Amino acid sequence: MDSIQRVANAVQRKLRGESTGHDWYHAERVCTIALRIGAEQSADREIVALAALVHDIADWKLNDGDENVGVRQVARLLQAEGVSQPIIDKVISIITTISFKGAGVATPMATIEGKVVQDADRLDALGAIGIARCFAYGGHYGESIYDPTIKPTRHQSAEAYKAAKTTSLNHFHEKLYLLKDRMNTPIGRTLAAERDQYMREFEERFLAEWSGQK
Ligand code: ADP
Ligand code: NI
């Protein structure tokens, strides 16, 4: 068994049953699509796969806001599965810079492997799966599916974005529709545009049903 497979097994054990849209299958889908985009970009396969698999273990939302807890967990997990320190350092540098932090906050990735994994993670927030994850996340955190009296906000800082109370449909506007113009790679852009279009059709239909037109 290679290090990618061993890490995949460890992440699967760790994320089993997670219900905010950051479950094992999210990690697996991100890994699959990251490897597809990465092959096209001649990115390093091991770094791409490992970063994709562990990227959400270090998510601040899963660790009560403390990024260091996640980083230490990831480093320990990778060490335990025999990954070398230089690779661990590269993976950690990717996963600590990957997250969306609000409409007005840039999140540039330094390496091609980082760009690839960021694109793959963003793609999984779009399309049919993105819609399902958005409502699952909203339900978990007590958001309404939609509320016409609460308008979407363009958050100008990471703090404002983290603190905001919103609705799941507003999240389409606050984050998800912004992603297609922030993709790093050509395939990422093509796939994101297609998934974005599908979500806009969903929203149109949702609002038509909401108002009793359909
Ligand atoms: P990232 O991978 O950029 O850190 P997040 O962890 O913020 O992404 O988001 C992961 C998933 O949770 C996405 O599918 C996203 O749509 C969803 N999500 C994040 N914040 C909200 C929110 N306020 N309401 C609904 N869904 C959300
Ligand atoms: Ni993710």
Among residues 53, 8, 5, 6, the alpha carbon closest in space to that of 33 is found at 53
Which residue's CA is the closest to the ligand 1 atom numbered 1? 99
Q: Could you tell me the two tokens for 206?
A: 């949702």
Distance 31 CA to ligand 2 centre (A): 10
Distance 132 CA to ligand 2 centre (A): 14
Contact 105, 156 (CB under 8 A): yes
Q: How far apart, in whole angstroms, are the C-alpha atoms of residue 40 and residue 110? A: 18
- Per-residue model confidence (pLDDT) at position 101: 67
With the C-alpha atoms ordered 76, 78, 84, 88, is the resulting torsion angle positive or negative?
negative
Q: What is the pLDDT along the chain (214 residues), one digit of tens a residue?
A: 799 999 999 999 988 877 666 789 999 999 999 999 999 999 999 999 999 999 988 664 555 566 678 788 899 999 999 999 999 999 999 998 887 666 667 778 889 999 999 999 999 999 999 999 999 999 999 999 999 999 988 877 878 777 778 999 999 999 999 999 999 999 999 999 999 999 999 999 999 999 999 9
Pocket of ligand 1 (CB under 6 A): 21, 59, 61, 99-100, 121, 125, 130, 133-134, 137-138, 143, 166, 168, 171, 176
Taking a 5 Å cut-off on Cβ, the residues next to ion ligand 2 are: 56, 121
- Ligand lying closest to the C-alpha of residue 26: 2
Distance 11 CA to ligand 1 centre (A): 19
For residue 214, the 8-state DSSP code is -
